[in-house]
Amino acid sequence: MTLRVGGVQDMDHELRGARRNVYLLTAAQAVLGTIGPIVFSVGGVAGYQLLGDDKSLATAPLTGFNVGVALGAVFVAAMSRLLGRKAAFMVGALLGAGGGVLAAYALFLSDFWLFALGMCVSGVAGGFTQKLRFAAADASPRFYKPRAISWILAGGMVSAVLGPQLVILTKDMLAPVFFAGAFIALVPTCLAAIAILAFLRLPDLRPVAGAAPTGPVRPLREIVLNRRFLTGMVCGISTYALMTFMMTGAPIAMVVGCGFSQDMATLGIQWHVLAMFAPSFFTGMLVSRFGAEKVVACGLVILMLCALVAHAGIGLWNFWGALILLGTGWNFGFIGSTAIVASSYRPQEADKVQGFHDIILFTAVALASFGSGKVLTAYGWDMLSAAVWPVTAFCLLLLFSLFIAERRRSA
């Protein structure tokens, strides 16, 4: 009886520690998450203005951002092994501030490719930020993992409001160099995140020299070829790439193609980011109750609805409605996919598997953002939404295949 009480006390202590870390990581996500809304609100339009007659490369700075996110996935895994996750996250926040300064400097020089480099450095910081969801899951008991992931993504609710509002308040601050003020605003924002991260108490997952291994570590090839991991990764990549593909082109389509104001486009991104993160308050509970696979499938269906609204016209409500559905579909699809991936590896395998996953993920996202500008320039907004149909159909087929395979295995 005493042992049982002790076990309950240990579990309660572990849960309290996990919740503390999750709350701090959520706050850090809320602050660092402003980088994305700021970049995607004005990065494409700023790039468009810096170019000459050929505007097809307007989204190249956003591609630079996503390339940076992919590189950040490599760097954060390496730095986490060397310095620990807490120190790695703080370095990532510093890079976010540096990227903002470099982007603003490039705007003063009217240097398109230097601006793209600044976006790339900011993206590296974004890659570090992406690791926050895994850090929360790895520091939590198994039953608390889906909710921990949801809480981290719920921090994006603050980012969804703070990022676009910072753009509206600061984009003209350094006129006549428009948008430079928005990137300078990243400096105090990232410094605030460092102050929050200083209070973290994350478990050290680095191997200790001379210590006995905590369990068998499978080769990376064995893990990533597992049907469950592959399904989670493909669905996560597809959900994220589709979201980026449409979100990247939306501000340019609204401002340049349809004559809406920059503020209307920025508010559209704000509603989109709110929709990305608002469902996170209950998505984790839905994953726990109904299973990650069903939540992902629901997200894919919502993405199909997004495509329908986008196809229906080019009014303001079409853009905003499509962006809201795009964000909601991403939330269900990405949280569910992350939960599937997180259930396919062991704690001692975390860094290498997560690094591999995020490299593939954000390489695909970078290609999606680059392709967005090309497709938008050549074929228009309607063609961006058409890409949703084949990709979501393929992912639904994968999920159904996984469901059948696991049902047979448990029978």
| pLDDT value at 3 more than 60 | no
Give residues with Cβ within 8 angstroms of 228, minimum separation 6.
340, 343, 344, 402, 406
| pLDDT value at 286 more than 50 | yes
Place of tokens 């079409």: 318
194-223 pLDDT tens trace: 999 999 887 665 555 444 455 678 888 899
Half-sphere exposure of 91 (CA within 13 A, CB side): 18
Q: Is 305 exposed, middle or buried (0-12, 13-18, 19+ CB in 10 A)?
A: middle
pLDDT value at residue 144: 74
**What is the reported pTM?**
0.74
* CA separation for the pair 211, 195 (Å, rounded): 33
| pLDDT value at 226 more than 70 | yes
356-401 pLDDT tens trace: 887 888 789 888 988 998 899 889 899 999 999 999 999 999 999 9
Q: Which of 53-62, 224-233, 266-275 has the highest mean pLDDT?
A: 224-233
83-114 pLDDT tens trace: 888 899 999 999 999 999 999 999 999 999 99
Place of tokens 């949801």: 150
* CA separation for the pair 396, 256 (Å, rounded): 35
